[in-house]
């Protein structure tokens, strides 16, 4: 019998079966096919620890999906800095001299759920995590340079309007256009989204933007406002409505598969990173508020400077561990980068960390893909899920600071610079430089005739479903104020005459 067992073991070893299955505690499993029972036909015993442990693990395989950005794809690679920006920021990754920094990237759709088709019209998330020697730095943005709202207090309502109805469980243009008639600043984003930019052909074929402006701080403490944009070296390629419908009939996971296949086939996608800079003394010199997330920074007024290139050259090995579990947040900053006064950004600073503690757990930063690679975590968070491993510290008995026993202290080099704010008034008030329609009109006039036709067609496909004519007229008035031709085309496509429009009281 022993000889037969040895022969079987040798044969199994040759087939790659030499490893023994174990429990989570490393205990060998003798039978993974049959539960412990009372006799051959009796009930299952609670003492079958392997069964209980296996089922408990299975029950927890699905974590809550992201409220937004639920559907996504990821990849890994590096960023190479090509221009020394140290006169503006002490952020180590932007020091030039071909400095190389590892990155993890997650692309996503914003509104639609985890199993939704990638052919849906939706902004796309474009989030990059840089693993620097001063800690992890995240640029968490979208493929479009602007957003629907400028204040985070509107964010839950905006998302609720775009999500399925709580009554019918269906996404409904009647709901979200009802909301947007009260949000004129969304006109710019809606205009961009309803061009073919709203349905990228693939993640490697779209540009990216930080959307928000941030503050760069140099070694002397001098502040410069900065906005990031990624430009695809594959070109910006999108699908029109007919192409999207055709693609959906073939494969609605095309964006994920296309990105994965290109990396697998060594067609490594690349993006150039550009920045735009504004001096603090010039921040009020525009006819819009630059820290308003509904506004783009026009390249003809604020130069775009190329500072590096990102290359993605590795696919995820395990999707759950490396993509679903990755935690990007605009509050993950390193010395040399600070947040700006952008109202939407300020809300995101809380919301992202809070979501990740809920979705992934309080120890989410200890998950491998979220851990710093080039920087060591040293703190005295203790005795909880979010604690660091202080057993390797010079004195494990000391889990507090300051102490006479251990020379571990803060470094004033990385202290935030002092900023003087005089005559500050705390208020709840809309900004005065709203200018909600000018940039939407500027963007519309850059479109070709075919792109304008596609924009109107795409808009009517949703706005035409809205049953309330007052909502349609209000949206037309926004488009008209952006550009007369734009508004007239939408009105005509919806079947309105000039008389109908005048009867709306000039709306």
Say if residues 336 and 216 touch (Cβ distance below 8 Å). yes
The count of residues in the chain is: 507
Backbone torsion region of residue 491, taken as left when φ is above 0, otherwise alpha when ψ lies between -120 and 50, otherwise beta: alpha
Longest alpha-carbon distance in the chain: 97
**One of 50, 112, 136, 142 is an active-site residue; which one?**
142
Q: Which residues are annotated as a binding site for heme?
A: 352
Say if residues 290 and 225 touch (Cβ distance below 8 Å). yes
d(CA 44, CA 60): 22
**One of 50, 69, 112, 254 is an active-site residue; which one?**
69
Say if residues 175 and 161 touch (Cβ distance below 8 Å). yes
Has 142 been annotated as catalytic?
A: yes
Q: Is 442 exposed, middle or buried (0-12, 13-18, 19+ CB in 10 A)?
A: middle
Has 363 been annotated as catalytic?
A: no
Q: Which residues contact 173 (CB under 8 A, 6 or more apart)?
A: 462, 463, 465, 466
Q: Which residues are annotated as a binding site?
A: 352
Two structure tokens written together for 334? 């390193």
Give me Rg for the CA atoms of the chain: 27
DSSP string for residues in 107-163: EEESSS-TT--TTS---EEEEEEEEETTEEEEEEEESSS--S-SSGGGHHHHHHHHS
- Specify the DSSP class assigned to residue 76: E
Q: Kindly list the catalytic residues.
A: 69, 142
């Amino acid at each position: 019998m022993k000889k037969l067992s040895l022969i079987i073991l040798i044969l199994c070893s040759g087939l790659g079966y030499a490893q023994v299955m174990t429990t989570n505690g490393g205990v060998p499993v003798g039978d993974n096919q049959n539960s412990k029972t009372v006799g051959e036909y009796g009930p299952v015993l609670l003492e079958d620890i392997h069964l209980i442990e296996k089922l408990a693990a299975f029950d927890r395989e699905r974590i809550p999906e992201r409220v937004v950005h639920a559907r996504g794809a990821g990849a890994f690679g590096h960023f190479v800095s090509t221009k020394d920006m140290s006169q503006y920021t002490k952020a180590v990754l932007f020091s030039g001299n071909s400095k190389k920094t590892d990155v993890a990237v997650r692309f996503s759709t914003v509104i639609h759920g985890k199993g939704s088709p990638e052919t849906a019209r939706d902004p796309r998330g474009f989030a990059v995590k840089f693993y620097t020697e001063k800690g992890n730095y995240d640029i968490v943005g979208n493929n479009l340079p602007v957003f629907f709202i400028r204040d985070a207090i509107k964010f839950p309502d905006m998302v609720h309007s775009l999500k399925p109805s709580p009554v019918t469980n269906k996404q409904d243009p009647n709901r979200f256009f009802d909301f947007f008639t009260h949000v004129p600043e969304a006109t710019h984003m809606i205009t961009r989204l309803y061009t073919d930019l709203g349905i990228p052909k693939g993640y490697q074929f779209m540009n990216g933007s930080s959307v928000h402006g941030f503050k760069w701080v140099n070694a002397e403490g001098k502040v410069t406002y900065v906005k990031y944009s990624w430009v695809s070296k594959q070109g910006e390629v999108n699908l029109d409505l007919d192409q999207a419908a055709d693609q959906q009939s073939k494969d609605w996971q095309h964006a994920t598969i296309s990105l994965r296949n290109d990396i697998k086939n060594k067609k490594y996608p690349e993006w150039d990173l550009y920045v735009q800079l504004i001096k603090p003394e010039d921040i009020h010199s525009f006819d819009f508020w630059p820290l308003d997330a509904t506004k783009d920074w026009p390249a003809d007024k604020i130069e775009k400077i190329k500072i590096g290139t990102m290359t993605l050259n590795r696919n995820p090995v395990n999707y759950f561990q490396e993509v679903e579990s990755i935690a990007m947040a605009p509050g993950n900053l390193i010395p040399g980068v600070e947040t700006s006064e952008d109202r939407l950004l300020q809300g995101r600073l809380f919301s992202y960390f809070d979501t990740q503690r809920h979705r992934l757990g309080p120890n989410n930063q200890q998950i491998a893909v979220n851990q710093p690679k080039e920087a060591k975590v040293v703190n005295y968070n203790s005795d909880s899920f979010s604690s660091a491993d202080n057993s390797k510290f010079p004195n494990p008995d000391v889990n507090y600071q300051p102490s006479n026993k251990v020379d571990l202290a803060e470094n004033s080099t990385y202290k935030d610079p002092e900023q003087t704010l005089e005559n500050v008034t705390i208020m709840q008030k809309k900004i005065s430089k709203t200018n909600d329609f000018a940039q939407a009109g500027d963007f519309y006039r850059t479109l070709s005739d075919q792109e304008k036709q596609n924009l109107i067609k795409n808009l009517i496909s949703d706005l035409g479903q809205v049953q309330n004519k007052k909502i349609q007229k209000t949206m037309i008035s926004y488009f008209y104020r952006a550009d007369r031709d734009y508004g007239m085309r939408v009105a005509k496509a919806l079947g309105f005459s000039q008389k109908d429009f005048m009867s709306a009281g000039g709306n």
